[in-house]
A and B are shown apart, each in its own frame.
Chain A
């Protein structure tokens, strides 16, 4: 494991409610990413962060926001959950403290989210 944890691991929620997923890393990696994985689509990037308070959008960012106030934590928020956001969400990290960046990414165990 690359020292990545995600919480919660499973969540069931109702349409219209806000949901926050947490990614925590223990290895001081600079880059952090949020993906969603759906059948037929593989992994798609939602948002990523290249440092504290530095974030950018990915391929499927609509309906999602992120925050990174500390190096070790990257939060993904669904402002108002919809059924189309039912998915498995993975956090990933890359880049060691000495690197400007790294092309290899290491993934957390995932969060299964069901929006009813």
Chain B
């Protein structure tokens, strides 16, 4: 079993839809949680960063962490075609030289 599980999709939604992306994990030591966005043939770019449990909002994006359930989510409101990308969750225990464990990524397509 992988430490971090992420539904690979692909996920296709109409423009304006609310998108929910999710990851589950097994290591209770994880404290730092990130979402990266990766456009085709590009490097991943940091989208959201959360420490411990709770919610964080940035524009149309909301990240949620539920440590009791070992479950993190990324919500995208009013999705746009420009949101079409692969979204990767990543997490860290914070005491291992900054090493991150990544989910395998969810491919999202937002149709006009």
Contacts and interface: CB of A to CB of B under 8 A. Distances in A.
Range class of the B interface residue count: 20 to 34
Contacts of B49: 103-104
A58 B102 CA distance: 13
Contact of A109 (B6, B43, B88, B94): B43
Contacts of A44: 102
B46 interface: yes
B56 interface: no
Contact of A101 (B6, B36, B44, B98): B98
Interface in A10-43: 31, 33, 40-43
Contacts of B60: none
A101 B46 contact: no
B66 to A, nearest CB: 19
B81 to A, nearest CB: 23
Contacts of B105: 42
